[in-house]
Amino acid sequence: MNLDIVTYLTSSIGREGLHELAPWAAWHGRLMVVAWGVMIPLGILAARFFKVLPHQNWPQTLDTKWWWHAHRGLQYSGVFLMLCGIAFAWGNAKQAAPADTLHAVLAWSLLALAALQIMGGLARGSKGGPTSLSLRGDHYDMTRRRLIFERLHKSVGYLAVCLSVVVVILGLVAADAPRWMYLLLSLWWLTLAFLFVKLQRQNRSFDTYQAIWGPDLSHPGNRLPSSGWGMKRHTAATFAKAYGHIHKKD
């Protein structure tokens, strides 16, 4: 019985018998799965749900940089691995069957979205705010430039992650991958989806502006609607309830 299960999981869905995969294709697949299946989704979770940490004494303690370093590090590392994966496929992918064309077309679209994210991040404008050398800034004032950046950056980011699921699955089909790979990735994606829903329901999708400058209405961005779907704004009381954190009174 156990042997039958192992045989079933290690066999491919498509072709019969042992399927040899070229080394370049194997490394291409590994790098792309790590980049788009693991690193980039984790970077998005860090940015959405960990701008304020559960133990943080918000709003007395503001602008923790953990989420920013995690998000930027994971995204840039993921893009770097993606480029390495492309390098393995470059000049070799022409050997692929015509049926794999859709995988290639969507993969190049994914690369274009990643490039758009990097360029958008570099063009997001200045920060500003009370802790900066100049109070005025695109982020602190929530200028048109910053509003456009936030809407595009978030929308394109989620679109890219959704598209990456399709691209990875098509890649597994192209490589005639064994069943255990589909199963493992499916369990991982379901885990990420579960964490997303759980943290969202816990109101952990903290508004970036409030995470950096607090809830005081003297800050111009707090007088505007929160940017992005499902982003939460808090007072000290609602934060304590959402995070299970009891603040000490000054």
Amino acid at 147: L
Q: What is the pLDDT of residue 242?
A: 72
pLDDT of res. 38: 95
Report domain extents, the chain: 22-239
pLDDT at position 250: 39
Q: H helices within the chain, ranges in order?
A: 2-10, 23-32, 40-49, 66-89, 101-122, 138-141, 144-174, 179-201, 208-213, 236-243
The answer to whether 61 touches 178, Cβ cutoff 8 Å, is no
Q: Considering the entire predicted model, what is its pTM? A: 0.89
Tell me which residue of 171, 121, 136, 154 sits closest to 229, measured CA to CA: 154
Q: How far apart are CA 116 and CA 110, in angstroms?
A: 10
Q: Is 76 exposed, middle or buried (0-12, 13-18, 19+ CB in 10 A)?
A: middle
**Measured distance CA(143)–CA(157) in Å, rounded:** 21
What is d(CA 176, CA 169) in angstroms, rounded to the nearest whole number?
A: 10
Specify whether the CB–CB gap between 168 and 185 falls below 8 A.
yes
Q: What's the CA gap between 69 and 141, in Å, rounded?
A: 23
Quote the pLDDT of residue 248.
47
pLDDT of residue 247: 45
Distance CA 111, CA 17 (A): 34
pLDDT in tens, the chain (250 residues): 577 787 777 777 765 555 567 888 899 999 999 999 999 999 999 999 999 998 888 999 999 999 999 999 999 999 999 999 999 988 776 655 555 788 989 999 999 999 999 999 999 999 999 988 889 999 999 999 999 999 999 999 999 999 999 999 999 988 888 888 999 999 999 999 999 999 999 889 999 999 999 999 999 999 999 888 899 898 878 887 777 744 444 3
Residues 151 and 87: their CA atoms lie apart, in Å, by: 32
